[in-house]
Structure 1
Amino acid sequence: MTAPLTLALVWLVAANVIAMFPSRDHHWRAASVLIAIGIPLIGWVTWAGGPVLGLLLLAAGASVLRWPLIYLLRWLREKVTGRAAD
């Protein structure tokens, strides 16, 4: 197993462990840190392991950090269409 893939799996385990603990800010600070670490990690895994592995890791990260992704998509839809989501 390569170093980028090992770090990516550690990132996924850490993200799941963080999600198990209660948080006053609903995990937004932790999500920000995980995103800041995860984006370069996805690039490194893609560079070292190829695009298929990078896409698999992207899907795994999106499933872990689904609420920031949902809010981003809602915000983009509001900006594009000019109206709030239902």
Structure 2
Amino acid sequence: MTVSLLLACIWVVLANVLGMIPSRDNHWRRAYALIAVGIPLLGFVTYQNGPWWGLAFMIGGMSVLRWPLVYLGRWLRRRVGF
């Protein structure tokens, strides 16, 4: 197992643990921190292991951070005008 996949697994476990801890701001600060760490990690996984592993990690990250993606999609639809 490469270093990038090990770090990606740690990121997923950390994201799940952070999601279980109660929060007053509905986990948005934690989501921003996970996004800030996850995007470079996605590039590192893709660089070391290829695009298929990068795609798998991206899908996993999207499933963990689905609400920021929902709000991003709503914001983009309002900006485009659909």
Q: TM-score range by the shorter chain?
A: over 0.9
How do residues 7-86 of structure 1 correspond to structure 2 at under 5 angstroms?
A: 7-81=7-81
The runs of at least 4 consecutive aligned structure 1 residues that moved more than 2 Å come to none
Compare CA radii of gyration and give the structure with the larger one. Answer: 1
Question: TM (normalized to structure 1)?
Answer: 0.93
Unaligned runs of 5+ in 2: none
Query: Structure 1 vs Structure 2: percent identity of aligned residues?
Result: 59
Instruction: Please give the alpha-carbon distance, in whole angstroms, between the structure 2 residues aligned to 1:73 and 1:49.
Output: 29
Q: 2:36 is paired with a residue of what secondary structure?
A: helix
Q: Select the structure with the greater relative contact order (CA < 8 A; seq sep ≥ 6).
A: 2
Q: CA RMSD in A?
A: 0.7
Q: TM-score, normalised by structure 2?
A: 0.98
Structure 1 residue ranges without an equivalent (≥5): none
